[in-house]
A and B are shown apart, each in its own frame.
Chain A
Amino acid sequence: MPTPRAPLFNRLIPQSLYVRVGLVLACVFFLLPFYWMANSALKSTAELSTFPPTLLPQSLRFENFVNAVNYIPFGTFLLNSVILTAGISIGAAISNPLIAYGFSRIKWPGRDFVFGIVMATIFLPFPVLIVALFDIFAKLHWIDTFLPMIVPAFFGSPFFIFLMRQFYLALPGEISEAARIDGANEFQVFLFIILPLAKPAVAAVVIFAAVQAWGEFLAPLLYLSDETKYPLSIGLQFYRQSHDVAYNLLMAASTLIVLPIVALFIAFQRFFIQGVTAGSVKG
């Protein structure tokens, strides 16, 4: 927020300078945690508790990463995280484009009313449901499996439906009309005409679903009991509680958890940013 003195500064210094200072300060706030994570991940256990703390490790202990992976069953947790993420992403990729199509490319009575309910569920706190959902999944014998996390993804999620719908609405209606005149049924129009055009939106949905699934904590905590089924989120917390994980190993493991998301972001930056801003089109 510009301070009241900003106009004066504005006259004396080029505007870009104090904007840059602000940007760099904000960057420090946003990047300090990650610098400290890497710094701590590379220190020896003894150096972690020296005062004052060292800003750079005295010697780089890259073996902390090896030790973290070996000491914590990182491979098992990682595989579980990947399976969960894959399952949830596939579910999101199949369900949301389909559902959103029904809420945008076909006009049916009551559509906007029902879509209003879809949007309302965005604002329903998930924890409200956990007690009852647990009981339901227990009766289905789904406890200690990935099903309670993955199956709901195949039934759509309101934010992704909204995102896909925004994209569909921007496509001209004539595209579908031409195909319908050629005798295609609605599903064929969806699958062969609209879906290929909507690839960027599907990609955004998949990426967001994957990022969300990667960080999921509460649901695995509720539904999984066998430690060999834990994803990284609760796996690491469990290991910390039960096996004395030193901070340098914890930070090394955290680095390894963060890196795939960073890589995903670098590879698909545009999708992330456009996915987020799709929500603003409606205003």
Chain B
Amino acid sequence: MTKENAMTLLPGRGIRALILSFLMVTACSTGGSTGSAPPLAGCNSGTTLATFWTSHTPPDSDSLKNIVTAFNKQSNSTCVKLVQVPGSETDIAKLTTAVRGGTGPDVYMLDRFTVAERAAAGVLEDLTPYGAASLGSSYLDFAWQEAQFKGKPYALPFDTDTRALYYNKDLLKAAGVDTSALDARDKPVTIDAVRTMANKVNKKDASGNYTTVGFIPWFEQGWHYTWGFAYGGTFFDKAACKVTPDDPKIVQAYKDMFWDWAGSLGVAQAQTFISSYAPPNLPTQQNAFLTGKLGFMISGDWVLGNIQTYVPNLKYGVTYIPVPHAGDAAATWAGGWSMVIPKGPKNGKGGYEFMKYIAGEPGQRVYTKETQHTPTFKSLTSDSTLFPGDAATRHTTEPAAALATAASATNDKLKQYCPLA
């Protein structure tokens, strides 16, 4: 046992300087941060502040900014402050923690699929007292239905989106692929046809790693819904109040598009390609499709805006999501976002005024124009189909087993909310 207690050297000045500088910084910062909030630039005098949170990122969030600016210019009662917060479709941890701490926003932009789930958890304000029930007829019916929970409106629908098959014409032509079947646009091509074309694009380097890949069906928006619907499957049995991801058609879709496709590409090589050229949080402009590393990609309409912004010279085409058999009807699905008032708003009235604006005609018009998203406001559009869905967890075990697990695990939790009115 050592009795050597070596702490004998003391650079006293160093420590004192360190503590002093800490104290000074604290003093400065408390001095700086306690001032009362000045009225935001661009707002009219006499307006009350309402905060609006979104987890959206550029270029979409830039358009939201423009809408907020336009709103502030015309409103004499409300001044909206846009705040970008971390989060995603399923991750609203920042919102829930803030609301519980009493520091939530007045308006939040929420994935529309999750409105009922969040309303059931008690995160959202019922919009009936604000008079939202009367707005239903202005919106596409499917979007409006998604904004309801137990017969009451909890959200105003914002945009919607659709998935399609994108293809890089230059890359396909360079690989000797005739893209005329894709360019025709009159009917969906078969998955087999896409497979044949895609295989010609696959290229490996000396070490066996892909440098370009034709098609990775699970990349980007190649969700369980995408292929499940393409194969004609259904995910939810409303009468029984059960999720049905183990529908045989969905199992077949998983087998063809994920299990077998991954097998033929080489699971490890395909994932290495994604990890190299499209790891999580990679800047949008470095997306493997945009950088010309990928022949085909399933993605949403926002890609149109991304291409316009980042690679305006890319020669690309868009067509239906391919189908299992020639003659099958094309399928896709629509998601989209909505505006909600979280529990305990400080300026709910002002927040609602802004919601009506951004989710209404003026806001949706700007958003559609700037981001190429599809509007849900009837007077602005007249397309899209109803595809209700329910979240299930993605697994990479054998498809049938994985989907059975997903069904039982989800149904176990779902029970407490059934019946879904």
Q: In the complex, are there CB atoms of A and B closer than 8 Å?
A: yes
B-binding residues in A (CB < 8 A): 49, 51, 79, 82-83, 85-87, 89-90, 93, 134-135, 137-138, 141-144, 167, 170, 199-201, 203-204, 206, 222-223, 225-227, 234, 237-238, 240-246, 267-268, 270-271, 274-275, 277-278, 280-281, 283
Q: In whole angstroms, how far apart are the Cα atoms of A141 and B23 in the complex? A: 25
Q: In whole angstroms, how far apart are the Cα atoms of A49 and B292 in the complex? A: 13
Hey, which chain A residues are within 8 Å of B86, CB to CB? 234, 237-238, 241-242
Is B25 touching A83 in the complex (CB atoms < 8 A)? yes
Closest to A237 in B: B86
Given contacts A83-B25, A141-B102, contact A204 B7 (CB under 8 A): yes
Is B84 touching A86 in the complex (CB atoms < 8 A)? no
Contact of B100 among A89, A143, A200, A271 (CB under 8 A): A143
Given contacts A93-B19, A227-B83, A268-B14, contact A167 B25 (CB under 8 A): no
Is B5 touching A85 in the complex (CB atoms < 8 A)? no
Is B5 touching A144 in the complex (CB atoms < 8 A)? no
Given contacts A79-B29, A200-B9, A281-B5, contact A246 B102 (CB under 8 A): no
Hey, which chain B residues are within 8 Å of A225, CB to CB? 85, 94-95, 97-98, 101, 103-104
Taking the closest CB of chain B, its distance from the CB of A90, in whole angstroms, is 7
Q: Is B129 an interface residue (CB 8 A)?
A: no
Q: Is B6 an interface residue (CB 8 A)?
A: yes
Is A274 touching B7 in the complex (CB atoms < 8 A)? yes
Is B19 touching A83 in the complex (CB atoms < 8 A)? no
Q: In whole angstroms, how far apart are the Cα atoms of A240 and B98 in the complex? A: 21
Taking the closest CB of chain A, its distance from the CB of B212, in whole angstroms, is 13
A-binding residues in B (CB < 8 A): 1-3, 5-12, 14-15, 18-19, 22-23, 25-26, 29, 55, 57-58, 61, 83-86, 94-95, 97-98, 100-104, 205, 277, 281, 283-286
Given contacts A170-B5, A267-B14, A268-B11, contact A244 B25 (CB under 8 A): no
Is B102 touching A203 in the complex (CB atoms < 8 A)? no
Is B23 touching A86 in the complex (CB atoms < 8 A)? yes
Is B97 touching A143 in the complex (CB atoms < 8 A)? yes
Taking the closest CB of chain A, its distance from the CB of B285, in whole angstroms, is 7
Given contacts A206-B19, A242-B55, contact A223 B97 (CB under 8 A): yes
Taking the closest CB of chain A, its distance from the CB of B145, in whole angstroms, is 30
Is B97 touching A206 in the complex (CB atoms < 8 A)? no
Is A199 touching B10 in the complex (CB atoms < 8 A)? yes
**Beyond A89-B19, A277-B6: 7 further Cβ-contacts under 8 Å?**
A134-B100, A141-B101, A143-B103, A167-B5, A206-B15, A245-B281, A270-B6
Hey, which chain A residues are within 8 Å of B7, CB to CB? 167, 200-201, 204, 271, 274-275, 278
Closest to A166 in B: B5
Taking the closest CB of chain A, its distance from the CB of B105, in whole angstroms, is 9
For the complex of A and B, 7 pairs with smallest distance between CB atoms: A143-B101, A244-B283, A86-B22, A225-B98, A200-B7, A144-B103, A238-B86
Is A244 touching B12 in the complex (CB atoms < 8 A)? no
Given contacts A83-B25, A225-B85, contact A244 B18 (CB under 8 A): no
Hey, which chain B residues are within 8 Å of A200, CB to CB? 7-10
Is A227 touching B101 in the complex (CB atoms < 8 A)? no
Hey, which chain A residues are within 8 Å of B22, CB to CB? 82, 85-86, 89-90
Q: In whole angstroms, how far apart are the Cα atoms of A189 and B5 in the complex? A: 22
